[in-house]
Structure formats: structure tokens, C-alpha cells
Amino acid sequence: MIPVSGYGGQTVAVLGLGRSGRATAKALVAGGAQVIAWDDSATGRDAAEAEGIEIRDLTRNGAYDGVSALIVSPGIPHLYPAPNPAVAAAWDAGVPVDNDIGLFFQSYATDDWDGFDITPKVIAVTGSNGKSTTSALIHHILTTVGRPTQLAGNIGRGVLDIDPAIDGEVVVLELSSYQTDLARSLTPDVAILTNLSPDHLDRHGGLGGYFAAKRRLFAEGGPDRAIVGVDENEGRYLANQLSTAMSDDRVIRISSGQKLDGEGWNVFARKGFLSEYRKGRQVANIDLRPIAGLPGAHNHQNACAAYAACRTLGIAPRVIENAMQSYPGLAHRSQLIAERNGVRVINDSKATNVDSAAKALQAFRNIRWICGGLQKEGGLDAIIPHLDHVAKAYVIGREAEDFARQLTGVDAEICTTMDRAVAIALAEAQEGDTVLLAPACASFDQYDNFEKRGDAFVDAVNDVLANKG
């Protein structure tokens, strides 16, 4: 646990009592604060009260009397589409609002660091797609080469749940826009933007607000190194804003699919090969194609980001390459589930938006595509140009009929349930085909989260294959 500093002897309110909120409350108490808390759910309040956390309705008059700060859990809206009433009450009372990410950055460094030979570092990863894979890959490389490391944030442990730093340690944080948007302190040593595509637009008041939330990691934090995906205009803009000149190697530009020219520090992947260029000269080259845990161009972009991060730590290219070879991949992210009679089965349940699903569709050929769920704003127009590898779509979810109607030029069967979609897709698959779950939608119409959806897919696949013998 990271005891929260700066609030000793003060009263701090916590809003939201899920895993993150309860961990925040404990870390505040460990730092000497008195904690009061609220959750809109009676279940959350009861669970927290059972752990000894004092419950107070933060929406009633006078709730913030004597309160020094309000700490808000990531899932709770603080501005768009409308602020939570407890957040609005904190504004009216003049109480500063923060989140656990802000508390982490203000509390992680301690006086103990003065005795370390190598100062600990924090690598923070954000972006629309690829955050988890990039974070996990960095952590895997560091672990493989023997560098002490912890993985936290949106993946692994909560940021305040991790252990205090040891000499030379690197903490890798996956940070969503929900987390970067509100944190008052954002001071990573290395910050990464993988890419940007429309997502969570209602939460951020549109694409501009969404990008602004991501940009805060760089603009507020002032990292020593910024690694920026420049395949979209927002990334090109950010890299330009952070650079004082093309040769400014504090900014590392990364790309999947285009060669990056110029005198700066560039890492890009083309046709399955990762290249590092510095001052206009190539200094390293890695063949990514044999790495089973990183299939497709979208994962090659993740590899570029992870490679660049590890290079900022002084790790040699060949050492990074060797570590990448053993990367197993993440569950629900281009995860190979089975291979039978020349048919591969891939679980990419994390493809919860059109852009991430499009990237998955580009990674494979002869696709039996299981898709559908709760559609996000913008519809499916952006995925239509990427359907040329789809032999047939098998549509699930409450909106299956509407989803299928939008798939112009593709044979689409309305299956509704996962079990039916898997059974039909596997029955119709031929040698050389890939049965791919890449929903392009949120899961909440049928499942609690994308993990549950992915687990249901795996179970359905295993049941079919077991019955086939």
C-alpha cells in the first residue's frame, strides 16, 4: 500500500466504494487522514461500513463541513454528461476534487528514495486502444530482464494498492481518460499515448474533451520522455506541441504502417518489422512477425510503444527483442483460444469500439466474425472499409438486428446469443479460417464487462470443441 501523504490529521471524503474507492480510503487512513465516504449504491455503502469506513451522505447540506478534499472513483461522472450531485456539492462548498491517481503521484516518492542508487520511475500509458497490451508488454520486458517492476492502474493492482518503491523499480501504469481527466497531480517520468479514436464521448463532452483528458498526462505532467503515436492528427499535434525542434529527442514518435522521417527519435513498424531511427539513421530492427503474442498491425504499434519506453530506460534493442519473444499476450486481446483442423479461434472481446475491432479485422484473413452488443455513438460506418477479410458475420446482442443491417455487403446472420454464434461459426468454418470475437460494441446489454463476455466466448468454444471430440 502507498500511504497517502499531505492529509495527516485532516478529514477527506471518498465518493464511490468499489475496489478503487475502498483501497483509496485505506491508503488515506494509512497516511493519517480521517475518512468519510459515500456511494450511491446501498450495497457499496454496506460493504465499506463493514470494513470500518464512516458513511456520510455527501449530497446533504453541511456534508463537507471540515472536509479538506473529495476523492472521486473513476467511474463516477464529474462533469459530463452531468456531474454527480456529490461532486457538485463539493464545488459549491469550495472543496478540492481529486482522484486516486492524483493521490498516488503526490505520495509515491518518499524520503527513503534518498538512499537509493537508482531512482524509481513511473511509466504511464494512455490512449484509446492498446493501453493494456502496451503496459503488460513493458512490464513483461522489465521482468524478463530482471528489473524490479509493478503493474497497476486499469490493469493489475490499484495504484494505491501497490508496494512502496524499492531501489531502481519501475511502476507501469495503464491510465484511462477517466483517470487522467481529474487527477491534480500527474508526474510520470515517461508518458505514452498509443493512439486516439472516438470513445467515451458522452463522458467527455465530445472528441475534443476526450483528447483533452488524454493530453493532460503530457501537458500537466511534463514527463522527461513523451512517446506519442502519430497515426492520427491528435498525436501529430501533441508531438509537435511537446517538441522544441525536430531533433528534440525528449519526444519519441511511434507509428504502425508508415516510415517516420526526420532528425528526431522515431520508432515505427512496417510490414511486420519494427525499426528505430535516431538522427536520421537506423539503429535497430526487429522482426515482429514470429511473435505469437503480438499479432497484427495494431499489436505492432503496441510493440513500438513498449520498445520505445524500454529504450528510454537504457535497455538494449536485442535484449528487448529477446524478451518480446516470450510475451504470452493478454486475455481477451487477440488471444489465441484454440486451433483445430486449420481453424484458429481468437478472443478479442476487448475490441469494444469500432476502431479497435477494425484493427483486429485487419490482423487476420478469412474471418468468421462474431460481433455486436451495445453500440457506441457514431454507428458502424467507420468499420465498413475493413470488412474485406470477413467471410461471414455472426451478430449477437440486444441490438443484433440493427447491427446486422448496417453491415452492407457482408453476409450476416442474427444469432443474438454467444452460444449460438459460436456453434454456427465453428460449424461453418473451413481450413484457413479464423473465428474471431471482436464485438465493436460495449458488453453491457448481455454481460457485466468485456471480460465476462470473453469468458463466455471461451466457454462456448470449449463446449463445441469438446462435443466434436
Q: Hey, where are the domains in the chain?
A: 11-98, 106-325, 335-468
Tell me the Ramachandran region of residue 31: left when phi exceeds 0, alpha when psi lies from -120 to 50, beta otherwise. Answer: alpha
Which tens digits make up the pLDDT trace of 319-345?
A: 999 999 999 888 898 888 999 999 999
Average pLDDT over residues 284-307: 93
301, three cell numbers: 504499434
Distances (CA, A) of 219 to 241, 243, 359: 9, 12, 28
Which tens digits make up the pLDDT trace of 352-400?
A: 999 889 989 988 999 999 999 999 877 898 899 999 999 999 999 999 9
30, three cell numbers: 494509512
Residue 334: what pLDDT? Answer: 86
Closest CA to 136 of 327, 360, 351, 332: 327
- Is pLDDT of 469 > 80? no
Computed over every residue of the chain, the mean pLDDT equals 94
Per CATH, 106-325 and 335-468 having the same topology is answered no
Residue 156: what pLDDT? Answer: 76
Known binding-site positions for ATP: 127-133
Residue 18: what pLDDT? Answer: 86
What do you get for the CA distance between the two ends of the chain, in Å?
48
CB neighbour list of residue 28: distance below 8 Å, 6 or more residues apart: 4, 7, 12, 14, 35, 71, 103
Known binding-site positions: 127-133
Which tens digits make up the pLDDT trace of 170-201?
A: 999 999 999 999 999 999 999 999 999 888 88
Percent residues over pLDDT 70 in the chain:
100
Does the domain at 11-98 match CATH 3.40.109.10? Answer given as no
Percent residues over pLDDT 90 in the chain:
85
Class of domain 106-325: alpha beta
Alpha carbon distance 116, 309 (integer Å): 22
How many residues comprise the chain? 469
Which tens digits make up the pLDDT trace of 71-111?
A: 999 989 999 999 999 999 999 999 999 999 999 999 999 99
CATH architecture entry for 335-468? Alpha-Beta Complex (3.90)
Alpha carbon distance 103, 284 (integer Å): 38
Lowest mean pLDDT of 196-205, 280-289, 412-421, name the range: 196-205
Which tens digits make up the pLDDT trace of 120-149?
A: 999 999 999 899 999 999 999 999 999 999
Q: CA angle at residue 436 from 411 to 198, to 5 degrees?
A: 90
